[in-house]
Chain A
């Protein structure tokens, strides 16, 4: 079973040379720590920066340079700033190559729910609906089950949707799964996790073909 850093490490292997990548808040943010350093990747933050660098050293922070989580950041050589309309032009116009975000639920047809729990204070969708409606390549980073132990990979999402039929791949603490027209296709197992464990933790249709290899991290 993987922890959050393990999930981030596995997803980092999906990031390819020349990619522009948008990282959501939570586990996705950790992905930046594990991207190979022999490839060129630029991170986009929807509040208006491309070419995000690490957090600043203490005393070097700038209130005018933050990420979408409102954290102080730095920029790397070649970075650029832009307004919110241009930022979402990059996203909606499919100029960003890869979007990695968290989810509360994903359904076997690729629907995603990650912004609202009825009865609880709703904070808003931020840029999530724009991201999932447009990105060609969306990877969801999440735990396989919720705190109550219930599957987050469902036949149908029970929570209000963020987007429909958009998720392509899911990396959880247990597995790597591809979303196909026939349902969740199991690609890889996390170390120490059996195919049966994954089956038991997945409510939606799970397609298992041949031997399922263990993830290489």
Chain B
């Protein structure tokens, strides 16, 4: 067993510095690496490029990094629900690249899987395709989209072990698996770090080979963005 477990969050984030490019798992606030974000806030490093489907809300998730003006550029598919984001975007302090959600996922996966680029039909004929190479396959047009290049990927899983194996829960899985191994260093935080051998190899979503560092998060708020319930009849 190759050990990926680090003793504390400080070791987990060792090497992060100004002007780096980071990937963050999560969809809305579900499945975000809460502990890594909290530590990045503490370190207050600046000039970051963040690849993440969303940008958090004003006081949680990546919104915490925005609040301290640590982010130079966001690469996302949807960035609503965040007033500070809007302010920084409109004032020109923050650079924003909006890309289709499936393309975002596939540019991560391409980086993970060793593809330099992929062709996708998404965005053809729209401003997303402007300046990009296009090509026809079997009568349909596609846009060439390049694999991301990132320094760190911060992902969050439900359970993991010291070998770096990960299991996700529910829709908190989202972008986390496709970001594992898509950056130079993948840092996984888990709700529960279990002894090696306890996870059934049949049930593992991401094998430890894609993960360089793993730790158990100190606590998880797991905030719900849009609590929606029905009444009992």
- Residues in chain A within 8 A of chain B (CB atoms): 45-49, 54-58, 60-73, 81-85, 87-88, 91-92, 111, 121-130, 133-134, 160-165
Contact = CB atoms under 8 A, between A and B. Distances in A.
A133 B27 contact: no
A73 B172 CA distance: 13
Given A61-B229, A133-B122, 10 more contacts: A48-B27, A81-B170, A85-B106, A85-B109, A121-B90, A124-B78, A133-B121, A133-B124, A161-B125, A161-B127
B93 to A, nearest CB: 15
Q: Which 8 A/B pairs are nearest by Cβ-Cβ distance? A: A88-B102, A130-B102, A164-B125, A64-B170, A123-B80, A124-B78, A129-B100, A71-B228
Given A70-B225, A72-B229, A64 B30 contact: yes
Interface in B195-230: 205, 222-230
Contacts of B30: 47, 63-64, 66, 70
Interface in B83-101: 86, 89-90, 98, 100-101
Nearest to A60: B229
The A contact surface, by secondary structure, is loop
Contact of B105 (A64, A88, A124, A164): A88
A87 B176 CA distance: 13
B98 A124 contact: yes
Which among A72, A125, A128, A163 has the highest number of chain B CB atoms within 10 Å?
Answer: A125
Given A69-B226, A70-B226, A127-B100, A84 B27 contact: yes
B78 A87 contact: no
B17 interface: no
A72 B228 CA distance: 5
Interface string B152-187: 000000100000000011111111111000000000
B76 interface: yes
Contacts of A128: 100
Contact of B122 (A72, A73, A82, A134): A134
Given A63-B222, A129-B128, A81 B171 contact: yes
A61 to B, nearest CB: 6
A75 to B, nearest CB: 8
Contacts of A49: 170-171
Interface residues of B, number: 58
Contacts of A60: 229
B28 interface: yes
B77 interface: yes
16 contacts: A47-B27, A57-B230, A63-B172, A64-B158, A66-B28, A67-B171, A81-B168, A82-B173, A84-B105, A125-B100, A126-B77, A127-B100, A127-B102, A129-B102, A130-B101, A134-B122
B77 A125 contact: yes
A17 to B, nearest CB: 26
Contacts of B42: none
B228 A55 contact: yes
A106 B171 CA distance: 32
A47 to B, nearest CB: 4
A128 B78 CA distance: 10
A84 B175 contact: yes
Contacts of B226: 66, 69-72
B27 A130 contact: no
A125 B98 contact: yes
B232 interface: yes
Nearest to B175: A84
